[in-house]
């Protein structure tokens, strides 16, 4: 059963990573300073960003936000079309 955005935020960092890789659909990637930021759509109807440090290729942090928060998606606008996303 997909986890909700509210339940996801209460999980530990390690539990969040496991769920992103198990249930997330990779959409695209962008760059922020020295980090690659990978965007995932979660089955529970929200987005997750994984911040990947490039030297050791390790996940430094997870940021999550609801699909209704279109302002946070502006940085990805040139990479994806929102009407191509599956219904959640």
Q: Which pLDDT tens digit goes with each residue over 60-77?
A: 999 999 888 878 888 877
Instruction: Classify the C-alpha dihedral 69-71-75-80 as positive or negative.
Output: positive
Average pLDDT, the chain: 86
**What phi and psi values does residue 82 have, to the nearest 5 degrees?**
-65, -30
**DSSP classification of residue 11:** S
Which residue, chain included where needed, has tokens 């109807």? 45
Q: Mean pLDDT across the stretch 38-59? A: 91
Does 50 have pLDDT greater than 90? yes
DSSP state of 81: -
For residue 88, pLDDT beyond 60: no
Give me Rg for the CA atoms of the chain: 13
> Looking at beta carbons, which pairs linking 74-81 to residues 24 or more positions away fall under 8 Å?
75/30, 76/27, 76/28, 76/30, 76/39, 79/27, 79/28, 79/29, 79/30, 80/27, 80/28, 80/39
Domains of the chain: 5-82 (3.30.67)
């Amino acid at each position: 059963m997909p986890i909700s955005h509210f339940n996801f935020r209460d999980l530990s960092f390690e539990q969040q990573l496991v769920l992103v890789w198990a249930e997330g659909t990779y959409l695209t990637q962008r760059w922020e300073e020295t980090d690659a930021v990978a965007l995932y759509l979660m089955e529970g109807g929200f987005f997750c960003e994984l911040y990947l440090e490039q030297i050791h290729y390790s996940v430094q942090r997870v940021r999550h936000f609801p699909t209704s928060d279109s302002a946070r998606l502006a940085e990805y606008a040139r990479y994806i079309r929102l009407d191509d996303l599956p219904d959640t």
